[in-house]
Structures are given as C-alpha cells and as structure tokens.
Chain A
Amino acid sequence: MADKEKANIPETDEGTIVFNVPFPDDLSGLKKMTPIIIKQPYQIDYIHSYGQDSPFFAGLANKKILGTKCTRCGYSYATPKLHCMECGSECDWIELPQQGRVHTWTTCYFGSEEFLKETPFNLILVEFEGIDTLLLSRLVGVSQDEISIGMKVSAKFKRNSKFKPTDVYFVSSPDKEEKA
C-alpha cells in the first residue's frame, strides 16, 4: 500500500494566497458571505493570417496603398475585398492615390485599453477620388478643431513596417491653389 503521508501535491507560492479565510461556525451563515473575487490573467499570441488580404500589408511596407477593383462590375474598394459585395465576382488589386479627403472623423479622448496611452488621437475615414468605398486611418498632427469633412489629407508611411493597417497614416495636406 502506498504511503499516504507522501501522497500530496506540493504547496507553491504563485497565484492568490489568502492566509486566513473567515468562516462561520454555523453553515447557515454562508449565504451572507461576501463573494470571493480573484484575479485571473489571460494572455495569448495569435497566429493571425491576413489570408487573401496579405498584399495590402506588403503594399504598405513598400509605401503603396492598395485597394481592389471588381473585374466584372468595376466597383472599387479602398479597404480591400477580394470578392465584390455588389456582384460576387473576383476583384483585382489596384494602387490607390496617396491623397484623399476626410469623409468623416472623430477625436478619441478615451479608448480601448490597448490604445489608451495614445489618446487623444484622431480617426478618419478617407475617401479617394473615383473609389467607391473608404479607408479607416489615423489623422496625425492636427487637433480636433482643425479637422473638417472634405479636408485634403495625404498618406505617410512608417519606415519600420509592423504589418498593421497603422503602417499608413494621414496628415493634413492644405490645398495650395485654394489658399493662393
């Protein structure tokens, strides 16, 4: 027969340690107990494939903004879709202009935990001449009161590509002719 004394799980120091948990003498008192709340960490690295959208990110690494265009109906996408939402046909890659206009915008003063440290930041949807859909991006270098719908913006690229849509961002690009 196994030695009962030796059959035990060793005690460790990690995780939640409470050295004295209050407990009533009478079990009927347990329903009045306040809840035990512990911290549970959770961290994971995903192996995220961009799949058929991958060339978009290769484009950013080469300072190009790529969109797609339907081979059948000609509908064009500023955020790539490899199949057309309008007619279901396959799309081809096209290069988009690096200037566009603000279709809409906001300035975020709070955000998701991951982006809190970057607040305040500006989000814009960019419209490109002749392209049917828009592109979500950041507008950098201007404050809330300087942004308006229709303002001209031009693309800038991160030198060290992170293979994220934030490898491209936009800055204000004042229309010199209009100003003159």
Chain B
Amino acid sequence: MRPVYMISGGVSKFTKARHDKTFQGMVKEAFDYTLKDLDLEFGKAFEIIDGSVASYFSDHFQRQLMSGIMVQDYLGLCPKPSHRVEGGGATGGLCFQEAWKSIASGNMDVCIAYGFETMSHVNTWKGNEFIALASDVSFDYPVGGFYTGYYAMMVIRHMYEFGTTVEQMAKVSVKNHTNAFYNPYAQKKIRPTVEDVRKAPMVAYPLTRLDICVMSDGAAAVMLASEEGVRKIKKATKKKLNLVKVTGIGRGTDAMRMADRPRKNVILLPHESADDYKNLKYPGIHSFRAGRVASKLAYEKAGILNPGKELDFVELHDAYSSSEIQTYEDMGLCKYGEGGKFVEEGYPFMPGIDYGLTLPKQGKIPVNPSGGLLACGHPVGATGLMQAVFALWQLQGTIKKHFGNNTLQLKDPKRGAIHSHAGTGTYVTVSILEKEK
C-alpha cells in the first residue's frame, strides 16, 4: 500500500432545501471550492485528476438512477474513471475509503471523492419512509418502519444496561448545536439548553426532535493523492501544500435486522481487558459491533493503542444524540457503559466554549467540533465527506480561513478520526487522519 494524502476539500452550505440548484450544481460548488483552495484552475486540474468516486445514498429522493455520472459530466470529468458507492448513512465514509483505495493501490495518483443528497424533493415523512426502506422490507419496515424508532429501541436498552440518562443525551445535543453555531456551513443555528432538548416534541421515546439530525440538501468533495500526485499538484500550483496523511482505514458490518444481533463477548481494543465486561452480552442492540470492528482495524493500521489518549479530536456520525454516546464506547474513547458519564464530565466538549454546563473534564477529547450531523445536517451521501473536509481543515489549522472565525480551531491538533455509520450500525467506517510534519 502506498501512502495517501488528503490535499483539499469543499462543502456546500447545508440547508433544508436547495431548490436553486440541481444536485450537479451543488457538487460543482464543493468541487470548485476544492480546486480554488489550491489555486488550481480547471484545465490543470483536469490534467492531474485520474478519476473519481461518487457518493449518494438514495435513488428514491430524486427518482433518478445513475446520478453519479450526471455529476461526473457536469464537473467536466468525463471520460475519466468513476464509480458510485452506496452504503446507507456510511455512504460518504465508504466513498472516502474507496478513493483512498484507488490511491493506495497504485491505480490512481489523484482521486476526487464527491458526494451529495437532495432530500428536499419529498416531504419529511416521505423521506423517513425512504430511509426506513433501508431496513428489512419483509420483516422490519412493515411493522412501523421508522429509523428514529429503531435507534430509540437501541438506546432504551443502553439505558437499561448502563444507566445512561436522557439528560446525558441532551448534553450531546447542546454540545453539537453550540459548536455548529460557529460553523457557517451548518444547517442549524440554535443554542438549546438541556431543558430545551427535553421539552422539544417527542419523536420516538426517549428521542426528541433535538436529539435527531435533520433532512438536508448538500454536497461535499475531497481530493486525495499519492506522493506522485502531491508532486504533480505542487508543480501545477507552484505552492507548498498543507498535507494531511490518511494513516489508517477500517470498516465493520452487522446484521441488517437488529433482532438478529448476537449476544456474545466484547471485541476488545488493546487498552481493554475481558475483565472490564464480565457480564455484558455484546453487542446486543445497545452497541454497534460494526463501529468497534471499524475502529479496531483503523487503529491497528495507524498504530493507536489507546484512542482516548492518542486522538486529538473525532468527527463521528451523530445522527442521534444517543448514537454519539454509543459510539464513544465503540471507538474506545471510554469503556462500554461509560458513554453517558463521558459526556456528563465534559470530555467530548470543545475547550474554551461556554456551554452553560459544569464540565470538569471539558475539552479532553473534542468530539464533533464542527457540530456533527445533529446541527450541520445529514445530506447522506455528503455527510461522511463533510466530516473529512472539516477534519482536514482542523488538522491544517485553516478553520479560520474557511469558517471566518477561529472559535472551533483546536490548538495544534496532530491526529483525528472520522467515523461514518449506516442504519442501526450495519456498515461503519473509521479513518485516521494525521497532520504531515
């Protein structure tokens, strides 16, 4: 495998509805930003780019098959190689890793990963129906197919096993919304309190409207390159590049039907021991085995032994405040069962921001500094790539340049992780990004 570098990225402003642009036009915005950030004009970019990978989740939202090629031609990238990737909510993360593979394998030197979703083409409840079609249509969907309902059942069991509370979940929502307040790309601009979260309309108990991400229209793009690709880009732009290296990728899976998930022993990370989980049946439906396996594989490749101590920040897939807590545990930021306490004590909050909460351990390992899906929005195919772009800017130290303010810039972060997650934890990807010295 060859080393793979993240060079540049772009994100369209995520919003409820982009009626002013088609999906091609939205991706074009993100793609153009990716080039503009390098001062790379299109003609030179076309010479350098070897191919692309397209990321979008649902054909239903637009009633359009083969949307990927329509983006490829709109961007002017035909006749270069491309293919579409789909894996539910993890589509963006999978796309990022497919582009990584294209480079690592030696198949390409410069690859563009682009993704989008246009969820505004149907009303919210029809959108929920489409998303619920990503559950078994023989056994699960007809019973009352609704993803918030599925995640609600998972966290009810998490609360039962570990004593996790709705207030702890609300604190995740407070954190991510507050962070996103300083992110101009975010869809939502609110600063809710724990009380606001709990008083919001109940969607599926215990998840309220503020525990859940929103439907969104948006696009994102990322440029990845090999050492040879980096040399070509440097030559074309005559610029010193602010490089981030992708030092590890990992993926995991689990059964589509939650009902089928096993109850066995925890898959351990190096800093854990079997004694930590003597009476825990795993993953059951309270934890995401795919997230644990993805993390384990990515950490092994990147040489991470204790993620809580060796990562400077994480952008993870918080489609629900509950799944952020569950994911702290899968990723080994804390032990299984400690996710609620982890957020309560302040570990995943940003340093230096006033959340109106008492947080003795504030900022130990910031999670979702960008605001995550809860506040940025979740235009599915763009989401995993959005995380990659925000993580890139974080590691480059260019948050101020791109956000127009410095609030969300961590001080000299060296290593971060991005985590993308599909329906009830069926596909999960984790990628490790490191600032190149």
Decide if B260 touches A112 in the complex (CB within 8 Å). Answer: no
Interface residues of A in 90-109 (CB under 8 A from B): 103-109
The CA-CA distance from A13 to B145 in the complex, in Å, is: 37
Interface residues of B in 244-264 (CB under 8 A from A): 255, 257-263
Chain A residues within 8 Å of B138, by CB: 48, 50, 53, 165
Chain A residues within 8 Å of B263, by CB: 132
Using known A-B contacts A108-B149, A114-B129, determine if residue A77 contacts B260 with beta carbons closer than 8 Å: yes
Partner of A81, one of B132, B137, B260: B260
Decide if B157 touches A106 in the complex (CB within 8 Å). Answer: no
The CA-CA distance from A166 to B137 in the complex, in Å, is: 12
Interface residues of A in 9-58 (CB under 8 A from B): 34-35, 37, 40, 42, 48, 50, 53
Partner of B258, one of A48, A85, A107, A136: A136
Using known A-B contacts A107-B204, A165-B142, determine if residue A113 contacts B129 with beta carbons closer than 8 Å: yes
Decide if A78 touches B259 in the complex (CB within 8 Å). Answer: yes
A45-88 toward B: CB 8 Å interface, digit per residue (1/0)? 00010100100000000000000000000000111010001100
In the assembled complex, how far is the CB of residue B195 from the closest CB belonging to chain A, in whole angstroms? Answer: 19
Would you call B128 an interface residue if the criterion is a C-beta within 8 Å of the partner chain's C-beta atoms?
A: yes
Number of interface residues, chain A, beta carbon within 8 A: 45
Partner of B129, one of A40, A107, A112, A123: A112
The CA-CA distance from A107 to B204 in the complex, in Å, is: 5
B129-147 toward A: CB 8 Å interface, digit per residue (1/0)? 1001000011110111110
Partner of B125, one of A77, A107, A112, A164: A112
Chain A residues within 8 Å of B74, by CB: none
In the assembled complex, how far is the CB of residue A14 from the closest CB belonging to chain B, in whole angstroms? Answer: 18
Decide if B144 touches A123 in the complex (CB within 8 Å). Answer: yes
Decide if A109 touches B160 in the complex (CB within 8 Å). Answer: no
Partner of B146, one of A104, A110, A144: A110
A34, A109, A134, A136, most chain B CB atoms within 10 A: A136
Chain A residues within 8 Å of B260, by CB: 77, 79, 81, 85, 133-134
Decide if B257 touches A79 in the complex (CB within 8 Å). Answer: yes
Binding site for A on B (CB under 8 A): 19-20, 63, 123, 125-126, 128-129, 132, 137-140, 142-146, 148-150, 152-154, 156-157, 160, 201-205, 255, 257-263, 285
Binding site for B on A (CB under 8 A): 34-35, 37, 40, 42, 48, 50, 53, 77-79, 81, 85-86, 103-116, 118, 121, 123-125, 132-138, 144, 149, 164-166
